[in-house]
Amino acid sequence: ETGVTQSPTHLIKTRGQQVTLRCSSQSGHNTVSWYQQALGQGPQFIFQYYREEENGRGNFPPRFSGLQFPNYSSELNVNALELDDSALYLCASSPAGQVYGYTFGSGTRLTVV
């Protein structure tokens, strides 16, 4: 059984650019949630994808968008990057659109310069 894998592990982008982060869910999980973890803080919910549709969104602007594919993998896209977008982006997979059984990946460290 494979866990949650995220790519890339580290990324440096320039302010104003766009970035795509990727997540493969754990075997048997059909739901993917994305969180942003700023340095020294707890993770904050961005959104969740269940059955290829957005299933809830946190307090993040529309320039944060996502996709889920038929194999349950997911992408997080961020447009018009700002310096404050620098953070660890965590993906978590779970069964059936809920928080029970959340398994987190190791994250993608995004630095915006």
**Could you list the residues that contact another protein (CB under 8 A)?**
4, 31, 33, 40-45, 48, 50, 55-56, 58, 90, 92, 97-100, 102, 104-107
Q: In what order do the strands lie in the sheet with 74-78?
A: 5-7, 19-24, 74-78, 64-68
**What gap in Å lies between CA 45 and CA 47, rounded to an integer?**
6
Residue linked to tokens 């580290």: 10
Smallest gap from Cβ 98 to another protein, in A, equals 5
Cβ nearer to another protein, comparing 79 with 98: 98
Smallest gap from Cβ 100 to another protein, in A, equals 7
Smallest gap from Cβ 26 to another protein, in A, equals 12
Cβ nearer to another protein, comparing 73 with 102: 102
The string of DSSP letters for 74-97 reads: EEEEE-S--GGG-EEEEEEEESTT
Cβ nearer to another protein, comparing 20 with 44: 44
Give the alpha-carbon dihedral of 66, 37, 48, 23, to 10 degrees. Answer: 60
Smallest gap from Cβ 16 to another protein, in A, equals 28
**What gap in Å lies between CA 52 and CA 11, rounded to an integer?**
26
Cβ nearer to another protein, comparing 18 with 41: 41
